[in-house]
Amino acid sequence: MTERLDARRPDAPTLAGQYLPGEVEQRRYEQWVAGGHFRASAESDKPPFTIVLPPPNVTGSLHMGHALDHTTQDALIRRKRMQGYEALWLPGVDHAGIATQNVVERQLGAQGLSRHDLGRDAFVERIWRWKAESGGAILGQMRRLGDSVDWERERFTMDEGLSRAVQTMFKALYDDGLIYRAERIINWCPRCLTALSDIEVEHTDDDGELVSIRYGDEVVVATTRAETMLGDTAVAVHPDDERYRHLIGTEVELPLTGRRIPIVGDEHVDPTFGTGMVKVTPAHDPNDFEIGQRHDLPSRTIMDERGVITAHGPFQGLDRFEARPAIVAALREQGLVVAEKRPYAHAVGHCSRCRTTVEPRLSLQWFVNTSPLAKAAGDAVRDGRVKIEPAELAKRYFGWVDNMHDWCISRQLWWGHRIPVWYGPAGEVVCVGPDEEPPAGDGWHQDEDVLDTWFSSALWPFSTLGWPEQTPDLAKFYPTSVLVTGYDILFFWVARMMMFGLYAMDGRQPFDVVALHGMVRDEHGKKMSKSFGNVVDPLDWIDRFGADATRFTLARGANPGGDVSVSEEWCQGSRNFCNKLWNATRFALLNGAHTQGAMPSATELSTVDRWILSRLAHVTAEADEQFEAYEFGKVCELLYHFAWDEVCDWYVELTKPTLAGGGPAADTTRRVLGHVLDQLLRLLHPVIPFVTEELWIALTGGATVTTAAWPGADRELVDAAAEAEVSTLQRVVTEIRRFRSDQGLRPTQRVVARLDGLAGAGIAGHEPLIRSLVRLDEAGADFQASATLTMPGEVCVALDTRGSIDVAAERARLAKDRAAAEKEAGQARTKLDNPAFVGKAPEPVVRKIRDRLAAAEADLARIDAALEALSS
């Protein structure tokens, strides 16, 4: 890109020869925070726009999922801030009960201690100390990504205000009969020794063994968990199954135990699966528990909290995984094993923290009665108070809230919000609110359990704004505007916030829009996993390519509800894009581009200037539409191609002759060039904030682009005639460049040429510009055309290439290229002429071969034309 130092304004700032993110990002971020540009005020008369950041775990570090989530939220909040909204992006972290307790317990274990050695109070104090010293590292990493959050409002789910909100909510639900204590089947981790929420259980297809066991002459059941048979209290069949209807109401002896158990008829049984008979272990399987409830079956717990067998007999004291083969061996010895299938792949739940196999277990726990709350959450979406983007994911949401089970909210941990219930010496149960004193006296004690982390997270949209107090923040910023999160927690977190928000805030929804994105995957569409070796650390990319390149790579792949594929190569391309903007702005400054003074009138503008202003108006309007639809990928594609293709590759190049010529025309173009870059940098700022801040300040002299006005689409600048004229000019230049390349002419090599038909194409006034762009000199008296190019619109370009190219060498090169193209075309035709291939191959594969044939035939036509031109 040519530079003209002599045209630079004396007061214009200079930009370094290349963009170095490491020298810009921290400096600019500190300036933004110090300047208060991210602060929001409840006293402002601007319309509010609120996002509460989904709180990352206090133990967490920035991963690609966070980076995507934060990039899209930041893009929304930065744009709304520029549009004149009182934009609040509220940050904070979650106390992450199980994960945090595990971290500190591991530290104690390294010292040969356990939490029980310290006692509850000292252990909790130890966690608070860890949190102060080491927790929340992700908050600093958010700064590196460029998150424009209001740091003065940072919250923690265990801080005093949010703890008060939790206790208030529990008390209200308890008093309304929506919280109760009961024995139910829950997910249990024998290593963490606590109940788990569904989201804390990760299912994988593990290899196990399916064993078919004979319980009686006509009774055969199959199981992958043979050890649980010790707790069987029935065998179930479908009541309409003709094979077994006569057995309903009879009994059968349970092997290895001598106990007799009934055979019951239950519609839950699938008669087409296996033998059509299932063993019923109510204390160790959720479906069996429901069968047991319907038939009043006893529940026999046969293992303790650590997964050790407690049932009396030869297997007592064995770990569950030791007992399983021992029981199968005993059954086999008695001739009761009918069949064994090994390996047998089946879904197995694992604790997401420690990877221990989860055990369904009957346990006394606290539950939320979700029925009325879930109905309200479904109604809020159905009646339009809350909009889910993309709309097709609303079906998944309804599938969950319309069939929700009661929510187990108690956890057997020491770190978390302790359940505010006290038990008295005579069996009294008292729930205590935040402004009430707990019962005093001998024999009273508080429940030992803490609340599920998701309980406090469900309050996040309003507890962070001061609820249960009626604060100015709550009045100004609730309901929040949009929740941006992954579709994978649509049920686990979004639905719970909906239930609690509608309940606590008198039917007012916690957010107006739920904008869902997918998972981040590698360039092959594969899930990122340590076991696959394809995990990418966003901090590594930030170090190597810059935060803007990392953000742009993620945002460019983000479409509502869809997964996002990323690769290092694409991030390198995003870095190149930032460099392209840098170089274009640097060129503009060195050539006197500016934003001072009024824009020139339409009569002062050249066709090229009117064209780029018209394109800017179109792009601005389209970018607005796509931002409002949460189409981040389309926004990035639009702005990328406008910036790279139209502004940098065309407009900057088209303006060079004008800028070099000086005079009023150059002054006009300098102002237009400054305006276009000014508006482009504003449009790009929400996604790539650092480089746009540096460039915009250098270009305009403004304080910061973070609070600059968002561009408006000026429809008066739309100029269809200018766009059509420049489009023709672009086609002519592109064809001449391609023709020159085909003729073997170097890009910098000047060639004598005659241009005919420009007037008929409506671009006669652009002949000097065309000649400048494609290195063509005027034809003299001795001109002799040796190559001719004819284009649509009767434009004809005749070139005198004598002495410019080695005809023999060029003919040999083209002949080699033609042979390669002919070979490619022949291979494609052979496949397409084969009915077996066309009939059996997938349509995308066949289409790809057809595309290869079309491309090869186009190459042949181009090469033949070039050879013919050489011959003439």
Q: Could you give the strand order of the β-sheet that contains 359-368, starting from the edge strand earlier in sequence?
A: 194-196, 179-189, 359-368, 407-408
3-state secondary structure of 180: strand
Residues making up the chain, counted from first to last: 872
Contact 687/636 with Cβ under 8 angstroms?
yes
Structure tokens at 232: 């069987």
Structure tokens at 349: 């739940």
Question: Letter for the amino acid at 163?
Answer: S
**Is the preceding peptide bond at 468 cis, omega within 30 degrees of 0?**
yes
Distance (Å, whole) CA 524 – CA 455: 37
Q: Is 501 exposed, middle or buried (0-12, 13-18, 19+ CB in 10 A)?
A: buried
If residue 133 lies in a helix (H) or strand (E), which one and from where to where? helix 120-133
Q: Give residue for tokens 């046969």.
A: 302
Specify the DSSP element, H or E, that contains 183: strand 179-189
Would you say 355 and 208 are in contact if contact means Cβ atoms under 8 Å apart? no
Question: Does an H or E element contain 548, and which?
Answer: helix 547-556
Token pair of 809, please?
């060498």
Cα 332 from Cα 159, distance rounded (Å): 58
Between CA 670 and CA 668 the distance in angstroms is 5
Q: In whole angstroms, give the CA distance from residue 599 to residue 714.
A: 13
Instruction: Determine the Cα–Cα distance for residues 130 and 134; give it in Å rounded to an integer.
Output: 6
235 membership: H or E segment, kind and range = strand 234-237
Instruction: Give the integer Cα–Cα distance in Å for 108 and 131.
Output: 15
Q: Are strands 520-521 and 564-565 parallel, antiparallel or unpaired?
A: parallel
Task: Return the closest-CA partner of residue 404 out of 368, 374, 367, 372.
Answer: 374
What single letter denotes the amino acid at residue 452? D
DSSP-derived 3-state class of residue 365: strand
CA–CA dist 497, 539 (Å, integer): 30
Q: Is 699 helix (H, G, I), strand (E, B) or coil?
A: helix
Which helix (H) or strand (E) segment is 321 a member of?
helix 320-333
530 annotated ligand-binding residue: yes
Rounded-to-10 torsion of CA 135, 501, 560, 487: 60
Query: Which pair of structure tokens corresponds to residue 783?
Result: 């001109």
537 touches 571 (CB < 8 A): no
Partners of 240 in beta bridges: none
Q: Please state, in angstroms and rounded to a whole number, the distance separating the CA atoms of residues 51 and 62.
A: 19
What is the b/e burial string over 219-257, where b = at least 16 CB atoms within 10 angstroms of the residue's CB?
Answer: bbbbbbbbbbbbbbbbbbbbeebeebeebbeeebebbbb
* Selection from 225, 42, 59 nearest residue 150 by Cα: 42
Mapped onto helix, strand or coil, the DSSP state of residue 192 is coil
| Angstrom distance (rounded) from CA 423 to CA 420 | 10
Q: Residue 81 CB: number of other CB atoms within 10 A?
A: 25
Residue type present at position 346: H
- Which residues line the annotated binding site for ATP? 530
- Which residues line the annotated binding site? 530
